[in-house]
């Protein structure tokens, strides 16, 4: 079975039902099926076939869905590119994936118009579950990104898991504001929509000033977001979500204080989960049961998780990617006896809840001691006057490395001396940052992950 078989549960089985809302227009599942069939014929006419790559750098809209579904039906490998990427970053992905065609926003709209005149019958041949569906390039928080090859089976296993774990059904109304060029919006949002047959309202992006209006108009039951979105939603009216049953957060750690503030304001406990480009979803707090603040819950069904050396998270299961595109050595290094090494560090409670403690590559080795930045960051975020915090290692002539804290102040409360005193009181002396640097903002990826390597200049100083 491939993704087309699963998508047909909605595209064919619910073809008369309204499936999508975008920019004030509604589309039935049957219309979306016909649109993507026409787009598939256009791709065939342009010489694309099974195994070829189609790269797209397009914002949210009907056109990116048309192109993705057309690729799935033809066996063309979909390569989404962040719309914020510049020429150098796009050049790296294009040079690595070698797509037959690169489509931008203007061309996508022109292709959609051209496809309207083609037959809507479905083209394409039989695909296997192990065929590649997409190459998703990692967010590049530590350097040049690698292409994670995700198969039809990877996406299918992930979506089926989420429908069961989060009780997603055709009666749901999904408000999706996440970018479809990212695995969070694509692998969770789009796939859960198509497998469940629910109604989805797609927004081009999250807009804080329109949040109350959009929630009020659509009356969603389901919402996927990232921590920065939930921080901004805290300023929305408390009656924003009378219809809501589930808010889900991922792609970056959700602060416990944000979860508690959200519960107090809206009466909902955000469900935090954990995943990555190479594995899709790994763990989730329960839909029914304790959603424990600061944790990412327990492994999803069929997903095996263990902690390796120094607490690194190892994963095995049908959700784990096929390898890095044309990077055999990198793929070999990423696996150990069949287990994917995530590079994330975690702890596991006696009752099976996982708590992330940072990245293996983030570990600071100072005077022979291992320092985990997440521990320091959590302490700093508890302090008055601290809106955001990131701790990185800077070269030190005596200790090799020393922690440096970058702080986004909240109001006028930034006091480096007070923060240093708190750290020295609450932490071992070697963990206390040697400097506290106030910054206007932290560099982040489109989905909110802090790019710590950008806090260190080429000479190695922070």
Residue 427: band (very low, low, confident or very high) from pLDDT cuts 50, 70, 90: confident
Q: At what angle do helices 62-74 and 105-115 cross, to 10 degrees?
A: 70
Which residues make up the CATH 3.30.300.30 domain(s) of the chain?
Answer: 363-455
Q: Is the per-residue pLDDT at 228 higher than 90?
A: no
Q: What does the alpha-carbon distance between residue 390 and residue 441 come to, in Å, rounded to a whole number?
A: 10
- CB–CB of 68/33 below 8 Å? no
Which percentage of the chain shows pLDDT scores above 90? 76
| Residue where the block lists tokens 């200790």 | 399
pLDDT for position 462: 59
Q: What integer is the mean pLDDT of 17-27? A: 98
Q: What integer is the mean pLDDT of 45-53? A: 96
Residue 457: band (very low, low, confident or very high) from pLDDT cuts 50, 70, 90: low
Q: Is the per-residue pLDDT at 309 higher than 90?
A: no
pLDDT for position 371: 83
Please indicate whether residue 301 or residue 144 has the higher confidence score (pLDDT): 301
Q: List, in order, residues 6 or more apart from 356 with CB less than 8 Å away.
A: 253, 274, 296, 313, 344, 345, 346, 374
Question: Per the CATH hierarchy, to which homologous superfamily does domain 363-455 belong?
Answer: ANL, C-terminal domain (3.30.300.30)
- CB–CB of 220/233 below 8 Å? no
Which residues make up the CATH 3.40.50.12780 domain(s) of the chain?
Answer: 3-355
**Region label for 64, one of left (φ > 0), alpha (ψ between -120 and 50) or beta (otherwise):** alpha
b/e map 159-186, b = 16+ CB within 10 Å: bbbbbebbebeeebbbbbbbbbbbbbbb
What topology does CATH give the domain 3-355? Rossmann fold (3.40.50)
How many CA atoms does the CB half-sphere of 175 hold within 13 Å? 25
Residue 459: band (very low, low, confident or very high) from pLDDT cuts 50, 70, 90: very low
Q: What integer is the mean pLDDT of 282-296? A: 96
Q: What does the alpha-carbon distance between residue 321 and residue 328 come to, in Å, rounded to a whole number?
A: 13
Q: Is the per-residue pLDDT at 460 higher than 70?
A: no
Q: What does the alpha-carbon distance between residue 380 and residue 422 come to, in Å, rounded to a whole number?
A: 8
Q: Strand, coil or helix: what is 125?
A: coil
Q: What integer is the mean pLDDT of 222-244? A: 91
Distance of CA 161 to the CA centre of its chain: 16
Q: Is the per-residue pLDDT at 101 higher than 50?
A: yes
Tell me the pairing of strands 101-104 and 132-137: unpaired
Which percentage of the chain shows pLDDT scores above 70? 97
Output phi, psi for 46, to 5 deg.
-90, 10
Residue 368: band (very low, low, confident or very high) from pLDDT cuts 50, 70, 90: low
Q: What does the alpha-carbon distance between residue 27 and residue 25 come to, in Å, rounded to a whole number?
A: 7
């Amino acid at each position: 079975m491939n993704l087309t078989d699963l998508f047909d549960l909605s595209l064919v089985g619910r073809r008369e039902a309204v499936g999508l809302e975008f920019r004030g227009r509604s589309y039935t599942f049957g219309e979306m099926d016909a649109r993507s069939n026409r787009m598939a014929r256009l791709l065939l006419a342009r010489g694309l076939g099974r195994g070829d790559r189609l790269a797209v750098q397009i914002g949210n809209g009907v056109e990116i869905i048309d192109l993705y579904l057309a690729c799935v039906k033809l066996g063309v490998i979909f390569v989404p590119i962040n719309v914020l990427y510049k020429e150098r970053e796009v050049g790296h992905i294009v040079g690595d994936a070698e797509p037959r065609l690169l489509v931008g926003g203007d061309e996508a709209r022109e292709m959609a118009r051209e496809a309207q005149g083609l037959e809507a019958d479905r083209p394409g041949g039989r695909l296997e579950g192990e065929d590649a569906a997409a190459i998703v390039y990692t967010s590049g928080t530590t350097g040049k990104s690698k292409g994670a090859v995700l198969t039809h089976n990877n996406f299918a296993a992930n979506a089926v898991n989420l429908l069961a774990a989060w009780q997603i059904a055709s009666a749901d109304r999904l408000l999706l504001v996440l970018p479809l060029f990212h695995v969070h919006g694509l692998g969770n949002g789009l796939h859960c929509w198509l497998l469940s047959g629910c109604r989805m309202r797609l927004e081009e992006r999250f807009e804080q000033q329109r949040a109350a209006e959009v929630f009020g108009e659509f009356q969603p039951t389901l919402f996927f977001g990232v921590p920065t979105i939930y921080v901004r939603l805290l300023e929305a009216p408390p009656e924003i979500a009378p219809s809501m049953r589930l808010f889900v957060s991922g792609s970056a750690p959700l602060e416990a204080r944000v979860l508690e503030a959200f519960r107090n304001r809206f009466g909902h406990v955000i469900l935090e989960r954990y995943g990555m480009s190479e594995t899709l979803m790994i763990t989730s707090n329960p839909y029914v049961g304790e959603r424990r603040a600061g944790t990412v819950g327990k492994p999803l069904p069929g997903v095996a998780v263990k902690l390796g050396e120094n607490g690194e998270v190892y994963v095995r299961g049908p959700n784990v990617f096929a390898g890095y595109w044309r990077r055999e050595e990198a793929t070999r290094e990423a696996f150990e006896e069949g287990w994917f090494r995530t590079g994330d560090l975690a702890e596991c409670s006696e009752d099976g809840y996982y708590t992330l403690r940072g990245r293996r590559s983030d570990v600071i080795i100072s005077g022979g001691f291992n320092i985990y930045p997440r521990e320091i960051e959590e302490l700093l975020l508890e302090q008055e006057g601290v809106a955001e915090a990131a701790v990185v290692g800077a070269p030190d002539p005596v200790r090799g490395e020393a922690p440096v804290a970058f702080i986004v102040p909240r109001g006028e409360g930034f006091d480096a001396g007070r923060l240093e005193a708190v750290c020295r009181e609450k932490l071992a002396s070697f963990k206390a940052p040697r400097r506290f640097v106030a910054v206007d903002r932290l560099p982040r990826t489109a989905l909110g992950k802090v790019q710590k390597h950008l806090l260190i200049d080429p000479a190695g100083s922070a």
